[in-house]
Amino acid sequence: MKLPLPLFYLLFLPFLTACNPQEITDPEPTGPPNIILIISDDHAYQAISAYGSQLIQTPNIDKIGAQGVRFDRAFVTNSICSPSRAVILTGKHSHINGLRDNIEIFDSTQQTFPKLLRNNGYQTAIIGKWHLKSQPTGFDYWRVLPDQGHYYTPEFRTPEGLDTLDGYVTDVITDLAINWLDSLRNDTMPFMLMYNHKAPHREWLPGPDHLGAFMDEPLPEPATLFDDYSGRGRAAKEAEMRLADHMGLTNDNKIHPDIVDSLGFQEFMGWYAPVSLRNVNRMNEEDRRNWEEIYGPINENFKNNTPSGDELTRWKYQRYMQDYLGCIQSLDDNIGRLMAHLEEQGLADNTLLIYISDQGFYLGEHGWFDKRFMYEESFRTPLLMQWPGKIQPGTVNKDLVQNLDIAETILDAAGVSIPADMQGRSILPLFSEEKPKWRDALYYHYFEYPGIHAVKRHYGVRTDRYKLIHFYNDIDEWELYDLQEDPQEMKNVFGEPEYQEIKDELMKRLRELQAQYKDEI
């Protein structure tokens, strides 16, 4: 029997529609989003290809920004590991949350965004680096590295005690995160997972898959590698983080101490002196054999062709970058592995994914490694976010945002009220059609002095164009930089007459911010 044409279409329309992919539209995600916060350690924005790095390609981290937003002006409040993590958890400056430096213990009884999420129907977990000394609270599940943790055969603190796992730490943290997503979480609840990495923290031991990955060609040197600090004050001159003088041949560059001693080098004996050899001793037989295949020839070549002077600095820079970037390659691979798993399990479309480092890092700029200063390379941090249906892919944001804003942003995304005593702001309104009036200045305060690397205590203000810094404690010096005219911050113009009006405005803005954030100097 021949069907009337309208009836034919009514019967077969669902089939025809299903065969035409152009007419398929994915439904809007319903319910609160899942949230994954990835925090790496000491990952410089200069080592992410989304930020134009000439050193490395990071396709998976880049993908977060390509599918969402890349923030080009994201900064921290205090460029040092533990305090930055405390700021992220609490949404409060260091002087308010009580953790000013890496020595103090975080008061984990205080209000944090994981506790607020947990009280509002979220399942919460943290896996990887905690670095706050106290026991994690506000989490349904936690497995965290003790203090800095180890690159090889890492130990994890758990509610049941210490657990040791075979493998490379970046791989192991990812294995644990995927296992939690698959087997341990309650899939009837939205979740918040903090997926925190040790890499690429000093002492920079690359994983088995990336040993020697950056050793074929010389890596480009920063223009300020041989900075003599003549344009700045005592703080820059007296800091102990110069590759030439303070980077260890043994602990950092992986030269055996017997060779270092035989060549008559006087090593700078900082906190990290014995760490590298201890890590090598943690490797299993196969990993150690692979390690020796790469680093044995490096040691032999250094012994037979020992550089000196500027050439030694250049050699240290290459060794530093080879290992640092190798750690990042594993980090990027594993972030890609987690993202692929989210896609496979159908979780990606309703997940807010955030990538941030606990601060920036010096990759030879000004002759330095490490962080701490309010200068751009350590003050600025990478920040990328994706949230399908909420953040337009390929967005680039240039507003002044900080790690101070992460807790508020996560709570806002989850539909949880932001406590009035939090000091940051949710970033999400920046993606609305009616963009709000945003902050015009950032406040910074570094406290850890005396301490490792000897960076003076300082506080300051940064606006769109200018930066004012006051170094204090055993020093009283001010620095002012015009970031438009001097983006590398080579010349302090604090005393120059043409900047008097700018200086006065910045002084006023600094005092306003100190009052706003209740920082009594």
Q: Looking at the domain assignment, is residue 225 inside a domain?
A: no
Closest CA to 453 of 180, 194, 240, 281: 240
- Helix, strand counts (H, E) of the chain: 15, 16
Q: Which of 381, 404, 432 is the last residue of a domain?
A: 432
pLDDT over 90 percentage in the chain? 89
> What is the distance between the alpha carbons of residues 94 and 444, in angstroms, rounded to a whole number?
10
Q: Looking at the domain assignment, is residue 365 inside a domain?
A: yes
> What is the distance between the alpha carbons of residues 90 and 82, in angstroms, rounded to a whole number?
12
Q: Do 111 and 174 share a structural domain? A: yes
Which pLDDT band, with edges at 50, 70 and 90, does 33 fall under?
very high
Q: Do 336 and 291 share a structural domain? A: no
Q: Do 201 and 103 share a structural domain? A: yes
The total number of residues written for the chain in this structure: 521
233-284: pLDDT as tens digits: 999 999 999 999 999 999 899 999 889 989 999 876 554 445 556 788 899 9
Q: Do 174 and 98 share a structural domain? A: yes
Q: CB–CB of 414/390 below 8 Å?
A: no
Residue 270: its pLDDT value, please?
52
Q: Looking at the domain assignment, is residue 212 inside a domain?
A: no
Residue 10: its pLDDT value, please?
35
| Residue 280, phi then psi, degrees to nearest 5 | -60, -40
User: DSSP of 382-395, one letter per residue?
Assistant: -EEEE-TTTS-TTE
CATH code of 130's domain: 3.40.720.10
Tally the domains of the chain.
3
Q: Looking at the domain assignment, is residue 219 inside a domain?
A: no
Query: Which residue is listed with tokens 């060779």?
Result: 259
Q: Do 336 and 316 share a structural domain? A: no
412-461: pLDDT as tens digits: 999 999 999 999 999 999 999 898 999 999 999 999 999 999 999 999 99
Q: Do 298 and 200 share a structural domain? A: no
Q: Which of 278, 296, 323 is the last residue of a domain?
A: 323
Q: Which of 371, 400, 432 is the last residue of a domain?
A: 432
Q: CB–CB of 52/370 below 8 Å?
A: no
271-327: pLDDT as tens digits: 444 555 678 889 999 999 999 999 999 999 999 999 999 999 999 999 999 999 999
CA distances (Å), 262 to each of 300, 302, 303, in order? 13, 12, 9
CATH code of 496's domain: 3.30.1120.10
Q: Do 287 and 159 share a structural domain? A: no
Say if residue 9 is exposed, middle or buried (CB neighbours under 10 Å; 0-12, 13-18, 19+): exposed
Give the pTM.
Answer: 0.93
> What is the distance between the alpha carbons of residues 503 and 465, in angstroms, rounded to a whole number?
12
CA distances (Å), 368 to each of 169, 245, 317, in order? 26, 10, 9
User: DSSP of 153-204, one letter per residue?
Assistant: S-EEEETTEEEE--SBHHHHHHHHHHHIIIIIS-TTS-EEEEEE--TT-TT-
Q: Do 240 and 258 share a structural domain? A: yes
> What is the distance between the alpha carbons of residues 386 and 65, in angstroms, rounded to a whole number?
7
> What is the distance between the alpha carbons of residues 22 and 7, in angstroms, rounded to a whole number?
24
Q: Domain range holding 240?
A: 233-323
Q: Looking at the domain assignment, is residue 148 inside a domain?
A: yes
